[in-house]
C-alpha cells in the first residue's frame, strides 16, 4: 500500500485572507510562508477558512471550514480540536501566538498523540499577566496550555528566556522566515524616503512618524495599515496626516501591496513599544532597506549594523536624517542587510531547523 504524505495543520485562519488580499496581522504572514514551505517539501498542508461552507484548495493548502459563533466559541474550540485532529490525523500541528484556544488544542493533541509546536509571536507571550489574551479566565487557560505543549519555537532570546524562567520550558530560537511573494500589487505603489507599515494600535506609536514628518519636511513619508479595535486611534492619525504635504496615509493595503511599498522605500520605520520579530523587517531586508527601530530582537540590528535602534522621537528623527544624508553610510547598511538576510532567513534553513528540533527528541 502506498504510504501517504506527512500532514501538517497550520492552526490559523489568516492565510486565506492573505492570499485573497484582505487585511491581516503578522502571524498570518509567517504562517503563510511556513505553509508554503511544507507544501514545497511534499507535505499535505491544512489550515482554516473562517465561515466557509466547504473545503477549498489554494496554493497547495487545503482550507477547512471553520465557524465563528461568538456565544459558543469556547465549546467550538474543543469541538474543532477533536473533530479536526480525528479527521486529518496530522503528523504535526503548528500554532502561533497567545490565545485561550491553545488549551483545548494542546489537550486534544496530547490525547491523540499528535506533535504540537507553539511558535512565539509577541515578546509578552511568556510573561504571565502581560499576554494580550483578554480576560483572566482566558489567561489561565493559556497558562495551562503551555504546560501541555512539548515543543516551542521562539523568535528571539527574550522569548526563550522568559519561557524558561516562567514555565521551565526549553525552546528553539529561530528567526522568522521569508519565502516567495507570488502575487503582484493590485495598484501603483509610491516611492518614499521612510515607510511605516502596521495595524494602527496605540502600542505601535504611529504618532512618532507624524512628528518626524513635521520636523523633516524635506523627506517623503508613507504610513500604511488598517484600524485595530474601535478605530479611534486610526482616525486620529489619519486626521493628523491630512495636513502634512510630505506624508501619504494609505490606510489598509494587501500584504502584496505592502511588500512592494517597503521595497520602494529607502528606510523602514518601526516605532512599537514591543514586538516579537516584525515581519516588516523581512519585507525590507529582502530588498535591502535598513531599519530605524525602537525594538531590536536579540540585538541583531545593533550587532550586525542593519540600521539604527532608537529610544525617543528625537533619536528617530536624528537617525533618519543621518542615514539619508550620509550616502556612504547608507550603502554600507544596505550591504550589511543583504548579507545578513541571505544567511539567516531562508525558508529551507527554517524548515530543516524545525524538523530536526521536533523529530530528534523522539
pLDDT, tens digit, 9 for 90 and up, residues 269-278: 999 998 878 8
Q: Could you tell me what percent of the chain has a pLDDT over 90?
A: 66
CB 121 within 8 A of CB 26: yes
For residue 41, name the pLDDT band (cuts at 50, 70, 90).
very high
Cell of 121: 509571536
Q: What is the structure's pLDDT at 331?
A: 96
* Alpha carbon separation from 55 to 29, 41, 49, 65 (Å, rounded): 21, 22, 8, 6
The C-alpha atoms of residue 160 and residue 164 are separated, in whole angstroms, by 6
pLDDT at 68: 66
φ, ψ (nearest 5 deg) of residue 152: -130, 135
Q: What is the DSSP string of 7-49?
A: EEEE--S-HHHHHTT----HHHHHHHHHHHHHHHTT-EEEEEE
Handedness of CA 71, 67, 104, 13 (dihedral sign): negative
pLDDT for residue 328: 96
List pLDDT tens digits, range 52-101.
Answer: 889 999 999 999 998 765 555 778 889 889 999 999 999 999 999 999 99
Average pLDDT over residues 350-358: 93
Q: What is the mean pLDDT of the chain?
A: 90
Instruction: Tell me the per-residue pLDDT of 284-316, one tens digit each, with 9 for 90 and over.
Output: 998 899 999 999 988 899 999 999 999 999 999
DSSP string computed for 206-240: THHHHHHHHH-TTS-EEEE--B-TTSHHHHHHHHH
Residue 185's pLDDT is 67
pLDDT of residue 153: 95
152-171 tens-digit pLDDT = 999 888 899 999 999 999 99
| Phi and psi, residue 284, nearest 5° | -80, -50
Q: By mean pLDDT, which of 125-129, 209-213, 217-221, 357-361 is the weakest?
A: 357-361
Q: What is the mean pLDDT of residues 260-269?
A: 94
Report, as an integer, the average pLDDT of 12-28: 84
Distance CA 28, CA 23 (A): 10
Rounded Cα distance between 354 and 119, Å, is 11
Asked whether residue 228 carries a pLDDT value surpassing 90, the answer given is: no
CB atoms within 10 A of CB 137: 11
Give the model's pLDDT for residue 122: 84
The domains of the chain, with CATH numbers, are: 7-179+346-359 (3.40.50.2000), 192-344 (3.40.50.2000)
Which tens digit of pLDDT belongs to each residue from 174-186?
878 887 776 676 6
Amino acid at each position: 500500500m502506498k504510504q501517504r504524505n506527512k500532514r501538517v495543520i497550520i492552526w490559523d485562519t489568516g492565510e486565506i485572507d492573505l492570499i485573497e488580499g484582505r487585511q491581516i496581522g503578522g502571524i498570518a504572514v509567517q504562517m503563510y510562508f511556513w505553509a508554503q514551505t511544507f507544501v514545497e517539501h511534499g507535505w499535505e498542508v491544512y489550515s482554516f477558512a473562517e465561515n466557509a461552507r466547504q473545503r477549498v484548495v489554494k496554493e497547495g493548502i487545503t482550507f477547512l471550514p471553520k465557524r465563528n459563533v461568538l456565544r459558543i466559541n469556547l465549546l467550538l474550540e474543543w469541538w474543532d480540536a477533536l473533530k479536526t485532529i480525528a479527521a486529518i490525523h496530522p503528523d504535526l500541528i503548528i500554532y502561533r501566538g497567545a490565545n485561550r484556544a491553545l488549551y483545548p488544542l494542546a489537550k486534544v493533541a496530547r490525547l491523540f498523540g499528535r506533535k504540537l509546536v507553539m511558535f512565539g509571536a509577541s515578546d509578552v507571550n511568556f510573561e504571565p499577566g502581560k499576554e494580550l489574551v483578554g480576560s483572566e479566565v482566558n489567561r489561565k487557560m493559556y497558562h495551562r496550555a503551555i504546560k501541555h505543549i512539548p515543543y516551542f519555537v521562539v523568535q528571539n532570546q527574550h522569548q526563550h528566556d522568559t519561557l524558561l524562567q516562567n514555565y521551565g520550558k526549553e525552546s528553539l530560537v529561530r528567526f522568522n522566515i521569508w519565502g516567495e511573494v507570488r502575487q503582484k500589487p493590485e495598484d501603483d505603489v509610491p516611492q518614499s524616503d521612510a515607510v511605516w507599515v502596521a495595524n494602527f494600535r496605540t502600542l505601535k506609536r504611529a504618532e512618532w512618524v507624524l512628528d518626524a514628518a513635521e520636523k523633516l519636511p524635506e523627506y517623503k513619508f508613507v504610513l500604511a495599515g488598517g484600524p485595530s479595535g474601535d478605530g479611534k486611534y486610526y482616525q486620529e492619525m489619519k486626521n493628523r496626516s491630512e495636513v502634512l504635504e510630505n506624508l501619504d496615509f494609505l490606510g489598509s493595503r494587501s500584504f502584496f501591496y505592502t511588500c512592494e511599498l517597503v521595497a520602494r522605500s529607502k528606510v523602514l520605520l518601526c516605532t512599537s513599544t514591543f514586538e516579537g520579530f516584525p515581519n516588516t523587517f523581512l519585507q525590507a531586508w529582502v530588498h535591502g532597506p535598513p531599519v530605524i527601530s525602537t525594538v531590536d530582537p536579540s540585538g541583531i540590528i545593533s550587532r550586525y549594523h542593519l540600521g539604527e535602534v532608537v529610544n525617543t522621537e528625537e533619536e528617530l528623527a536624528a537617525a533618519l536624517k543621518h542615514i539619508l544624508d550620509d550616502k556612504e553610510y547608507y550603502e554600507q547598511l544596505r550591504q550589511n542587510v543583504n548579507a545578513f538576510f541571505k544567511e539567516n532567513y531562508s525558508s529551507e534553513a527554517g524548515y530543516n531547523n524545525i524538523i530536526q528540533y521536533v523529530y530528534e527528541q523522539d
